[in-house]
Structure 1
Amino acid sequence: MCADHMSTPEIGVLLWDIRRDRLGEFRGVCSGRWYLRPPRGGREWDVDPGDVQPAEPGERLRAENARANSRSRGEVL
């Protein structure tokens, strides 16, 4: 399902940016653009809401594991 059929997600929801072929964590909205950042932290990027779809269960699991591993190593998110 594309984002034009989705309401604005909650902060932290994992989404797939289909234009960049990249997984991102939803961070907010500004001027109609959605902002995502890598699940392990890093620089945010903006995306058109029509260019995202919900992350698949396997993608979410990998991202949650990577995030937990980063925290256990003391890396800043």
Structure 2
Amino acid sequence: SGWDAIFPDRAMTIAAIDRLVHHATIFEMNVESYRRRAAYAAATSLSDIEDDRDKQQPEKEIATAKDNSQPATLSSDIET
């Protein structure tokens, strides 16, 4: 964490954080984390953007098909 950059050594960092927590009022809230919600929304919107980008790109034709009589498209006809 960034606390080690503020204090000169690790022992002092631990002592300072311990005192802060000791004198603090801790609220335990049984709700969804804002950070988790924001991370999920960012990941979901990123995958939606990638899906939209894939849909906008035209399908490329390749020369190998199942029976070599018709060109196969990348999205549907290729067997793996």
Q: TM-score range by the shorter chain?
A: under 0.3
**Whose RCO is larger (CA < 8 A, sep 6+)?**
1
TM-score normalised by length of structure 1: 0.27
Larger strand fraction of residues: 1
Q: TM-score, normalised by structure 2?
A: 0.26
Larger radius of gyration between Structure 1 and Structure 2: 2
Task: Decide which structure has greater helix share.
Answer: 2
